[in-house]
Amino acid sequence: MRIACLTILLVASNLPPTRAGSLSGSVVLDWEPIATGLSRPVYMTGSNDPVHRRYIVEQAGVIRVVDQAGYLLATPFLNIGPTGVDRVGGPDNVFDERGLLGLAFHPDFYDSGYFYVHYTRKSDSASVIAEYHVEAFSPSVASTQERPLLVVEQPAANHNGGQLAFGPDGFLYIALGDGGFGGDPFGNGQNINTLLGSLLRISPRSTSPYGIPGDNPFAGGAPGRDEIFAHGFRNPWRFSFDR
């Protein structure tokens, strides 16, 4: 098992505030270890809970918690990998670009307990977007019972995308790659009738299994999949919102 150390880059400088493009002088960079003893960490995020826990996604299907004091908790927050309920991965537990790829907490997670994951399903390598839940009385361990929102078949092992994030509008954004290989041989990036190669935008709790924002470009009877917010992507591994 590969052991990794997750770090965060801190920027320290005694330079005064300056406009973009006019920075001069030296900037000192340093590394501060956050946690050690991790296996294939691919993402770290937080929720809006008042104790400021940090959640680390391990590609093999485990989500770990770093508590407010900076300690990595021994018990995983969620384990849907081979050492848990065994939903995540590729054949023979080969992960390559597959595995547990994304995590996003609902904006009212502190009250509702809902969060969302993006993973590769072990049985057939499909991309799954699923909802999970944590009870208020056990905030550091989530239930392994899931509610699948989307299951997207994948024609190859790579270009799965990965990122999940709630936007300032309260909707869930989902990044899916073009389906794999090189040069988009399946033509998915420009095909608005597939979810592959697209950034999706849904409302995960408004209806079952999810709702469609009315201002999505292909919503309301227009040609194309209602879930698509933008398309033409090769492999959108990570994105973020500039708030």
Residue 33 lies in a domain: no
Residue 30 lies in a domain: no
Residue 207 lies in a domain: yes
| Closest to 201 measured CA to CA, from 161, 160, 241, 166 | 166
Domain that holds residue 211: 41-231
Residue 45 lies in a domain: yes
Q: Specify the pTM.
A: 0.88
Residue 34 lies in a domain: no
Lookup: tokens for 147: 């509610």
**Strand partners of residue 11:** 29
Beta strands in the chain (DSSP E): 4-12, 28-38, 41-46, 54-58, 62-66, 78-79, 100-105, 114-120, 127-133, 147-152, 164-166, 172-176, 198-202, 228-231
Q: What is the CATH number of the domain that holds 161?
A: 2.120.10.30
> What dihedral angle (degrees, nearest 10) is formed by the CA atoms of 85, 173, 57, 239?
150
Give, as one character, the DSSP assignment of residue 60: T
Residue 24 lies in a domain: no
Report how far residue 87's alpha carbon sits from residue 100's, in angstroms, rounded to the nearest whole number. 10
Contact present, 110 and 102 (Cβ < 8 Å): no
Token pair 């979810």 in the structure block, residue: 195
Residue 50 lies in a domain: yes
Per-residue pLDDT of the chain (243 residues; tens, 9 = 90+): 333 444 433 333 333 444 555 556 788 889 988 899 999 999 999 998 888 899 999 999 999 999 989 999 999 999 999 989 999 987 777 788 999 999 999 999 999 999 999 999 999 999 999 999 998 767 789 999 999 999 999 999 999 999 999 999 999 999 999 999 999 999 999 999 999 999 999 999 999 999 999 999 999 988 999 999 999 999 999 999 986
Q: How many domains does the chain have?
A: 1
Residue 64 lies in a domain: yes
